[in-house]
Amino acid sequence: MKLEIRRIESARLTKFCNL
């Protein structure tokens, strides 16, 4: 059987700094 490999997105945490 084929073992599936799924890419995991980065954990990117933000704070908006647009005035």
Binding-site ranges for other proteins (CB under 8 A): 1-19
CB of 4 to other proteins, least distance (A): 7
CB of 2 to other proteins, least distance (A): 6
Structure-block tokens of residue 7 = 């890419």
Amino acid at 19: L
CB of 19 to other proteins, least distance (A): 6
Structure-block tokens of residue 18 = 């647009």
